[in-house]
Structure 1
Amino acid sequence: MGDRVTLTFRRFDADAARAIRETVEQIYRDSYVDAIASGDPFDSVEQFMHRFDAYTSRGSGFDLVVAYTADGEPAGQTWGWPLRPGTAWWGGLVEEPEPGFTKEDGNRTFALSEIMVRQALTGKGIAHSLHDELLSARPEQRATLLVEPDNATAYRAYEAWGWRKVGQLHPGWPDAPLFDVLIRPLTSSH
């Protein structure tokens, strides 16, 4: 692993996140260079920002954390939101792992939707720091995320950070691939 960098974190709710939309887009462009270049419509900047706009327009408790380097440059970002009753999140679940698994009340599950680090800064522990910063303030019982089954780098990290696979899900977004569903218990002082 490369040298760690000194980071500061800033938290943004949905309104504040929309106010830094250009920063969010630039971090995505600098983090997913190869995916964007692949031409896959799901990974296009336009589709990514469309999803971001949808996430931040729901009034859903959206929570964004941006990491900044000592010189004030954005290094990476992560975000998610609590799953509300009737959430569409579980709509594409291939098979329910256990009865009641998808029952949400707004306090049970936090959906970690994105975590990314600018390509020039990978290998410095930034993704793990972002992950921990976002989840440390969450009062929910558990967190969930989706990962592409062939993303070995992300998978290794998530397993090391306490996540476990519980199923597969195909989101309702256009051109979305089939993802593995991971779950992690959360601890909180609440």
Structure 2
Amino acid sequence: MTEPVFEHFAAEQARLRRDTVGDIFQRSYVDAIASGDPFDSPTEFMRRFDAYTNPSRSRGFELVVAYLDGTPAGQTWGWPLNPGAAWWGGLHLDDGDQSEFTRETGERTFALSEIMVCAEHTGRGLARALHQELLGGRPEQRATLLVEPDNDRAYAAYRKWGWVRVGWLRPSWESAPTFDVLIHNLPL
């Protein structure tokens, strides 16, 4: 694989790249979009992106875009969880004290919300490179992400990268599926 070039953007800068974000999504989630699931529609995806980058709630948001030969080829983003974060709404832990687990300070947990690679670039290590680029220098103690339990390819990659399942939840987004909740200690 050609070495990717990465660009990092805060929320305000990410909003200016909305077309690039949407294009990468559509080139990455081809099968999911074709399934007709409302949650995976480009319109709903961009509605969520707009909410994540809303200036009133986007403290610490970071988008990383990977370019191969000058063309956007993948992206990832996330943000640190603030006290009372909605991220943990509906969480069912496999083990442990839920109130302690979900206690956030704004510096404890980084939520990795999305990681995607355009279909024509999959299988070349770009997802791992994006993962490392976003999380490699994070100051938080841990990171969390949500994965659909039947997404075997993503699940296998996350386990290989050191993520472990701690429970499950269904986000409040309309038509959202149930996800497994994974955790990874930082630094990577």
Q: What band does the TM-score fall into relative to the shorter chain?
A: over 0.9
Q: Which runs of 5+ in 1 are unaligned?
A: none
Letter of the 1:81 partner, please give it. Answer: W
Cα RMSD after superposing both structures:
1.0
- Give the aligned partner of residue 10 of structure 2: 13
Question: Contact 1:96/1:102 (CA < 8 Å) preserved in 2?
Answer: no
- Give the aligned partner of residue 134 of structure 1: 134
Moved more, 160-169 or 87-96: 87-96
3-state SS of paired residue (1:89): helix
Percent identity reads 63
Q: CA deviation at 1:61?
A: 1.0
Partner Cα distance (1:20, 1:65) in 2: 11
- Give the aligned partner of residue 48 of structure 2: 51
Partner Cα distance (2:88, 2:101) in 1: 9
The superposition leaves residues 74-116 of structure 1 with CA deviations (integer Å, 9 ceiling, x where unpaired) of 0100000000001100012124742200000000000000000
Report the count of equivalent residues. Answer: 184
Q: CA deviation at 1:59?
A: 2.6
- Give the aligned partner of residue 66 of structure 2: 67
- Give the aligned partner of residue 94 of structure 1: 92
3-state SS of paired residue (1:5): coil
Partner Cα distance (1:104, 1:98) in 2: 16
Partner Cα distance (2:94, 2:111) in 1: 17
1:21-170 equivalences in 2 (<5 Å): 21-57=18-54, 58-69=57-68, 71-95=69-93, 97-99=95-97, 100-170=100-170
Partner Cα distance (1:186, 1:139) in 2: 8
- Give the aligned partner of residue 176 of structure 2: 176
Post-superposition, which runs of at least 4 consecutive aligned residues in structure 1 deviate over 6 A?
A: none
Partner Cα distance (1:179, 1:5) in 2: 33
The superposition leaves residues 34-55 of structure 1 with CA deviations (integer Å, 9 ceiling, x where unpaired) of 1001100000000000000000
Query: How does the TM-score come out when normalised to structure 1?
Result: 0.94
Question: Contact 2:169/2:181 (CA < 8 Å) preserved in 1?
Answer: yes
